[in-house]
Amino acid sequence: MIDLYTFTTPNGRKVSIALEELGLPYTVHVVDIMKGDQFKPEFLAINPNNKIPAIVDHQGPGGKPLSVFESGAILLYLAEKTGKLLPADPRARTEAVQWLMFQMSAVGPMLGQLGHFKRFAKEQIPYAIERYTKESERILGVMDKHLAQHEFLAPEYSVADIATYPWLAGATQYYPELLPAVANVRRWMDTVAARPAVQRGMKVPELK
């Protein structure tokens, strides 16, 4: 059994999608970041960086519990634990890992900063909004060019797609103006969104 500590954010939903794809049993623990749950001592014992998601695998290496934080690290851990969602071929595996890192270093941070300055900042700063809008457009352009010749980010469906999809799903909801110019990204999104495990994972956690 795996304990998943999560909330309704793109990073959180990466892991719930992966767990659904892998068919691993897990228990959801809601960490309400709007109420400051991420700063509680019991959560900090699992993730000292006070961010969701985090997991505790009670059947970790050697049969002993293992806690893992950082969404990309969790995805790699789950893929390596099961032998799924990462290609076996070394070249294809490297492609998947590089696109996973692209999500971690570019897609998430840039869309996240755009979201902060457009939706949450107390003061509208035109320079910041323009900067992160342009960088988000550039990043989507990189993806679009790649996806013009590939069905998925790597040679097969992988953790790279799982990591990236929730961020683009959020962009569709909050920044739809970014999407018309990237038809190949939209096609990829439709393909990923049609997967039943993705649909289930995107509903985790269900808040009451």
Which tens digits make up the pLDDT trace of 77-105?
A: 999 999 999 999 999 999 999 999 999 99
Does position 208 have pLDDT exceeding 80, yes or no?
Answer: no
Q: Are 185 and 111 in contact (CB under 8 A)?
A: no
Position 177 scores a pLDDT of 94
pLDDT tens, residue by residue, 120-166: 999 999 999 999 999 999 999 999 999 999 999 999 999 999 999 99
Q: Mean per-residue pLDDT for 8-35?
A: 97
d(CA 124, CA 67): 39
Asked if residue 207 has pLDDT above 90, the reply is no
Average pLDDT, the chain: 97
The predicted structure's pLDDT at residue 118: 93
What's the rounded mean pLDDT across residues 64-89?
A: 98
Within 8 A by CB and 6+ apart from 25, the residues are 1, 2
Quick one: pLDDT at residue 39? 97
